[in-house]
A and B are shown apart, each in its own frame.
Chain A
Amino acid sequence: MTPFSYTKRTFLREVILILVAAVFCIPLYIVLVMSLKTNQQISTTPLSFPLHPQFSNYREAWNGTADLTIYRALINTAIITVGSVVLLVICGSLCAYVLARRVSKLSTGLYLLFVTSIVLPVQLGVVPIYVEMRNTGLAGSYPGMILLYTGLFMPLSVFLYAGFMRTLPATYEEAAQIDGAGLRRTFVRVVFPLLGPVTATVAVLAGVFIWNEFFMSLIFLSGTHKAMITVAIYGFVGEYASQWNYIMAAVVISIIPILAFYVFAQKQLVRGFTGGIRG
């Protein structure tokens, strides 16, 4: 008998784990059934299955608050997230390429600075960034937010790219340069394509982090038409106080895009998280 065969004890373990998973899922069940009930049904029978689903909750939630519809917030979030991720991939890979390939005290020092700033809380820089962005008129605009998030997640991007590049042999680049390719051409044609796996990791991680981000978007975007989904939900809850059916419908709408992404790209996502964090 090998230690890994399926025994009675394994079966017992499986049953226990499935039960734990069921309990773990209760919040997700709750949000789904509540989003389809009237507020009265919620106070009398909160957990029963909704026999007469109230899809009107979703219509109410979709309209959001007077200032901001959820639809608009989703579009805003998509624009800001995609913009930041594209910039993070371009700037991160370029910056890491230089840091990883050029051996000097300066590049080592800069690299260490990047790595340290992964740990620093975003709160540290928020006051001056806010003041500067207000003075330059960048606060509350798409380009401003894209720049902000790019700066915020740049250390992560550089760290991941540089780590990966150090494992890449330089032979391809040398071959390209011997064939007469310039530095720019070498990077675009030879290096960047080789970075595929880590580009996926950066995109997935930064994408999820920015989509879910609340602190910065609350400070820079609350009360504007450019607000992201987290701020929209926060404002919505503020306005609808204890109308849980509408709140839950809004929560469901807000998590559907990420949920869909998770279903389609689950492997990539999990690999991104483990690879990225263990990096």
Chain B
Amino acid sequence: MLAFLVVSSIAGAWYAFTRWDGISDPVWIGFGNFREIFSSDTARRALLHTVQLSVVFVVLVNAAGLLLALGLNRAVKSRIVLRAIFFLPVVIIPLATSYIWRFIFDYSGPLNGLFRALGLDSWVTPWVGDPTWALWTIVVVMVWNYTGLTMIIYLAGLQSIPDELVEASVVDGASAWTTFRRITAPLLAPAITINATLSLIIGLRAFDQVMALTGGGPIDASETLATQVYKAAFVDGRFGYGAALAVALTVLVLIVVLVQLVVLRSREARMGA
């Protein structure tokens, strides 16, 4: 099984250096596909979108998840029910829920309806069909999708913090903000590392939500690397180029995740010291 995985990955890397339609024999073209990635506007924009989407997604989904976790950690009576509600989108088919959002963002959908009702007619726009907004509608949907996931991981982190520490800090007269900054945040460092890495991987691989909401459009305003791999290999039949895009995506994931882990781990160590 492992051999299957390793062999297919290595073979994938090999195809990346070929021109191949999937039927005839692959032709070795060296770095030709990679040159094309860096010279083609669509691929370069897909790369840029993937990074933009991931960065904004990581920040928002972690901020939202942390706020909810802090709010729902204790005392609040309905916390069990509320946690269940916020976690729900994590487990239901992302493709299916994205279609609900596509209606919300539709030109004649409820979001524009709300703006019209509030007299904000200048805000009305086709959202998923608007080149400026298409990518950000995907981020909104993904944040809605995964906030519950970061929330439960932060909650698990918060619950590992002994009550006495927080109590002592409050008894000593520290404000809520100081308690958070000096006690809670440092002890949450491992949860932050897990969440940041996890959400980054989810962001870099974004596919389902893109396909459901915009299909990468309008034109290529919301293409990501994952959708480009699919389209190049399985719609246009350019297997070699598709494999090269996949290699580019993999390299990006590995670099970013490694850098992030190193940064966050050293921060963890500093906080722990």
Q: B-contacting residues of A (Cβ < 8 Å)?
A: 2-6, 10, 13-14, 16-18, 20-21, 24-28, 30-31, 34, 43, 46-47, 91, 95, 110, 113-114, 117, 119-132, 150-151, 154-155, 208, 211-212, 214-215, 218-219, 229-230, 233-234, 237, 244, 247-248, 251, 254-255, 258-259, 261-262, 266, 269-270, 273-274, 277-278
Contact = CB atoms under 8 A, between A and B. Distances in A.
Contacts of B142: none
B11 interface: yes
The binding surface of chain A is classed by DSSP as: helix
Contact of A151 (B5, B22, B153): B5
Nearest to A222: B234
29 contacts: A2-B167, A3-B170, A4-B75, A13-B76, A14-B76, A17-B68, A17-B78, A95-B2, A114-B2, A119-B257, A120-B9, A121-B253, A123-B246, A125-B5, A125-B11, A128-B7, A128-B11, A128-B12, A212-B94, A215-B226, A229-B93, A230-B93, A230-B96, A247-B99, A251-B100, A259-B88, A269-B91, A274-B155, A278-B194
B37 interface: no
B198 A131 contact: no
A151 B103 contact: no
Contacts of B234: 130, 219
Contacts of A13: 71, 75-76
B63 interface: no
A31 B166 CA distance: 42
Contacts of B166: 3
Given A13-B71, A34-B103, A214-B211, A47 B110 contact: yes
Q: Interface size bucket, B side?
A: 35 or more
B96 A255 contact: yes
Interface of B: 1-2, 4-9, 11-13, 15, 22, 68, 71-72, 74-78, 82-88, 90-97, 99-101, 103-104, 108-110, 113, 144, 149, 152-153, 155-156, 163, 166-167, 170, 194, 198, 201, 204-205, 207-208, 211-212, 225-226, 229-230, 233-234, 239, 242-243, 245-247, 249-250, 253-254, 257
The binding surface of chain B is classed by DSSP as: helix
Contacts of B97: 27, 251, 255
Listed residue (B76, B83, B198, B249) with the most chain A CB atoms within 10 angstroms of its CB: B76
Contacts of A150: 1
A13 to B, nearest CB: 6
Nearest to A5: B75
B99 A237 contact: yes
B72 A17 contact: yes
B249 A258 contact: no
A233 B96 CA distance: 7
A121 B204 contact: yes
Contacts of A127: 11-12, 15, 233, 239, 242-243, 246
